Amino acid sequence: MLWQKSWVETRWRFLIGFAILLVLACGIVMQYPAMRRLMPLAASVGAGTADGRLARAIEHAIEVQRDYRGFVWYQWVSQNFAHTWVLFAALLGSGGLLARSTGAGALFTLSLPVRRRDLVEVRALTGLAELFALALVPSLLIVVLSPAIGERYSLADAAVHAACVFVGGAMFYCLALLLSTLFSDIWRPALITCGVAVLMAGAEAMAAGGSRFGIFGAITAESYFRTGALPWPGLLVSVAASAAMLSATLANVNNMEV
């Protein structure tokens, strides 16, 4: 009953996110031949700009995308995939664990003949399973579709990047879940979580070494792309933060009054 309840509460958010990520993955693959043709033009634009920072940014983007693996990492892993996945992590974690309120939904949920620990665990595991599917399946689709344009993308790379997105970004899901014990609606936990994600991404971009040790450095796994080394610091921070927020979520639910 709890598994079905959790699935019903989140299924449309999951299915919409699943469809969007699949479409984005297809678009990335089909975009590469055009991008390859435009690469010389982009290089000339970068060389001709007077803004030094813009020129360096263009040169960096061109250098990274000189081969198909770099293109997929730059366009998919570090941008479309990471940003969209974090957004749906916030949406899937929001709602379902109603805050301290007098609403009928909260009274019904908290009056069910199950332990509150079971309620939190089932809700958390359902969302994490959905997020794992959102991380893995679109990445595997790139592996499957790449031969259609005469390219090959490593299954190992797809699996590693999917795992890093899932483990590194899980803390945003857990944050939304925790906030859902404080707010009775879906939108405030989701918006606050997205706001936190934007602030963290900005802080990491400005901090020296942020991409290596930060959460978004773990999500994009730039160190793995460049050197083959997994971003362990960021992954471990995310796991620890996720565990702490899940414990806080359970404590809040245990303290709710029926």
Say how far apart CA 190 and CA 180 lie, in whole Å.
Answer: 9
Say how far apart CA 57 and CA 54 lie, in whole Å.
Answer: 5
3-state secondary structure 37-65: HHHHHHHHHHHHCCCHHHHHHHHHHHHHC
pTM of the model: 0.88
pLDDT at 120: 86
- Burial degree of 128 (CB within 10 A; 0-12, 13-18, 19+): buried
Say how far apart CA 194 and CA 91 lie, in whole Å.
Answer: 9
Q: What separation in angstroms does the CA of 241 have from each of 22, 108, 171, 191?
A: 29, 30, 6, 19
Which amino acid is present at 126? T
Q: How many CB atoms lie within 10 A of CB 40?
A: 10
Instruction: Return the structure tokens found at 209.
Output: 């070494």
Instruction: Return the structure tokens found at 110.
Output: 């908290």
pLDDT at 185: 86
Q: How many CB atoms lie within 10 A of CB 44?
A: 10
Residues belonging to the chain:
258
Which parts of the chain have pLDDT scores under 50?
46-48, 50, 100-104
pLDDT at 116: 75
Q: How many CB atoms lie within 10 A of CB 137?
A: 14
Question: What does the pLDDT look like over 223-240, one tens digit per residue?
Answer: 999 999 999 999 999 999
- Burial degree of 47 (CB within 10 A; 0-12, 13-18, 19+): exposed
Say how far apart CA 10 and CA 126 lie, in whole Å.
Answer: 9
In 3D, which of 145, 137, 141, 192 has the Cα closest to residue 165? 137
In 3D, which of 235, 205, 226, 216 has the Cα closest to residue 83? 216
- Largest pairwise CA distance in the chain: 69
